[in-house]
Amino acid sequence: MDLVELTEMIVKSLVQNEDAVSVKEFPTEEENVILIQVMVADEDMGRVIGKEGRYANAIRTLVQASSSLKDNKFVKIDIDKF
Q: Which of 2, 13, 1 is closest to 58 using CA atoms?
A: 13
Kindly report the CATH number assigned to the domain that includes residue 12. 3.30.300.20
Residue spans of alpha helices (H) in 1-82: 3-14, 45-49, 54-70
User: Are 76 and 34 within 8 A, CB to CB?
Assistant: yes
Q: What does the chain come to in residues?
A: 82
Percentage helix, strand, coil, to 5, in the chain?
50, 25, 20
**Residue 39 belongs to domain spanning:** 3-81
Report the C-alpha gap between 56 and 59 in whole angstroms. 5
Per-residue pLDDT for 74 more than 80?
yes
Share the mean pLDDT of the chain. Answer: 94
Mean pLDDT of 71-79: 92
Query: Can you give the pLDDT at residue 11?
Result: 97
Mean pLDDT of 1-15: 93
